[in-house]
Amino acid sequence: MKKNSSRIHPAQQTANFYGFVPALEHITDFKVTHVDEVNAKIFDKTKKIPVLEEKVALTRMFLEKRMSALPQPSMIFYQGPMNRDGTKSTQSHTFNLEIIGNPKSIAEAVLIETAYLIIKEEYADYEILVEINTTGDKDSFSKLKRELKYFYAKNASNIPPTLKAIYKKSVLESLSTSDKKAVALRELGPTPLGCLSEDSRDHFKEVLEYIEGLHIPYTINPFLMGDMSYGNETVFQIHITHKKNGTKVVAKGQRYNSVARRYLGKKDVSSIGVSIILTKNHTECAEKTKENKYKLFFIQLGFDAKIKSLQVLETLRKANVPVYQSLSKDKMSGQITLAEKMNIPYIAIIGKKEAMENSILVRDMNNRCQDTVPLCDLIDYVKKL
């Protein structure tokens, strides 16, 4: 029997709600080119070519399509490794989310929240834990390498003989090795968190505040590094644990802001992505997003409001209320202008006052009348609109 290729996978429904759209809706020629492969091979140090090729291709397409001019940062999803020849990937159970063009900590929050919810639905009987770290910006990373070199030069006699050649080539290997003696030694030395610039420290602090506000279970792993051939700043993994099946990693994500500079000779492009492993019996995804008739345009003003907004959005998602959000925007005027262009009849506004009082303003865009609604009554209120 022929499968219905138009059915929408729950992962896509969740991604759609949080603002992600199929990559092909943004980029009709969505694929890795030979030039992307060449650029990746020239600089790749870890030989994990396919993943790096994808990041180079995504960044190139973002620049070529002038997607920075769009009213929102680009938020896309696609299945499996990016196609190189237009055919369907044989690893379509891998679901990828990307946010390109947003340097703010809210990008991490939206990406991690969306990935967490997808995994929570996909692996309902498992405990979930987010493992997170940051390697910081360019200055932070340079400081880390300097301090590691100094530390291992000072402790050369304690380095396991089998690792001396590796450490001499790259001291960063000391942060990922599983050798027991090396692990004991590295715990005495510098970590990425201890070498952060003030900007990187503030950024990571905000990311953690978002995660805590969303009540997502997490732990900081100071030695989680990700792929250093293209990554920087925030890096995370999501683990699932089952009494019978043990623990395994089902999602890996990180920022890759520096890809444009390292591989394309352009200015940095703020980007972050995650790859999620779905169960093999659920691989079909619709190629086109089913257009929602949005009732609400969600507006937030300030950091506290953003945290509260993500909680409210999840409540609306569970109630199947179509809502358009603009969490990357900070100014109210820009958000209202976008709502007007989209002809969305109502806007919901959370500012600092509303966040503290657990309420929300709902404004009718036709007559400009508005009500203050307790968050606990929001779903019933919206369904009556």
Q: Domain locations in the chain?
A: 10-130+217-277, 138-194, 296-383
What is the rounded CA–CA span in Å between residue 198 and residue 137?
Answer: 10
Q: What is the pTM of this model?
A: 0.85
Distances (CA, A) of 141 to 55, 255, 265: 20, 14, 20
Average pLDDT, whole number, for the chain? Answer: 82
DSSP conformation letters of 342-364: TT-SEEEEE-HHHHHHTEEEEEE
Q: Would you say 352 and 302 are in contact if contact means Cβ atoms under 8 Å apart?
A: yes
pLDDT for 27 equals: 62
φ, ψ dihedrals at 233, nearest 5°: 60, -135
Distances (CA, A) of 316 to 11, 66, 294: 17, 32, 12
Band (64; pLDDT cuts 50, 70, 90): confident
pLDDT for 44 equals: 57
Residue 287 clears pLDDT 60, i.e. is over it: no
CATH class of 10-130+217-277: alpha beta
**Which segment of 19-23, 47-51, 204-208 scores lowest on mean pLDDT?**
47-51
Band (5; pLDDT cuts 50, 70, 90): very low
Band (4; pLDDT cuts 50, 70, 90): very low
Band (115; pLDDT cuts 50, 70, 90): very high
Q: Would you say 19 and 13 are in contact if contact means Cβ atoms under 8 Å apart?
A: no
**Helix axis angle, 198-213 relative to 303-318, nearest 10°?**
30
pLDDT for 140 equals: 93
Residue 85 clears pLDDT 80, i.e. is over it: no
What is the rounded CA–CA span in Å between residue 253 and residue 268?
Answer: 18
**Helix axis angle, 303-318 relative to 105-122, nearest 10°?**
20
CA angle 320, 326, 331 (to 5 degrees): 145
- Specify the higher pLDDT residue, 29 or 303: 303
CATH of span 296-383: 3.40.50.800
pLDDT for 42 equals: 65
Q: Would you say 110 and 14 are in contact if contact means Cβ atoms under 8 Å apart?
A: no
Positions of E strands within the chain = 21-22, 74-79, 94-100, 127-134, 218-220, 232-242, 246-255, 271-277, 296-300, 323-325, 346-350, 359-364, 370-374
**Which segment of 14-28, 183-197, 294-308 scores lowest on mean pLDDT?**
14-28
Band (291; pLDDT cuts 50, 70, 90): low
Q: In the numeric block, which tokens belong to residue 77?
A: 């999803």
Gyration radius (Cα) of the chain, Å:
22
Edge-to-edge strand list for the sheet holding 94-100: 21-22, 74-79, 94-100, 271-277, 246-255, 232-242, 127-134, 218-220
Q: Which of 9-13, 280-284, 285-289 has the highest mean pLDDT?
A: 9-13
What is the rounded CA–CA span in Å between residue 378 and residue 375?
Answer: 5
Average pLDDT over residues 72-96: 66
Residue 329 clears pLDDT 50, i.e. is over it: yes
Q: Would you say 295 and 346 are in contact if contact means Cβ atoms under 8 Å apart?
A: yes
3-state secondary structure of 130: strand
Residues 6+ apart with CB under 8 A from 215: none
Average pLDDT over residues 59-66: 78
- Specify the higher pLDDT residue, 328 or 164: 164
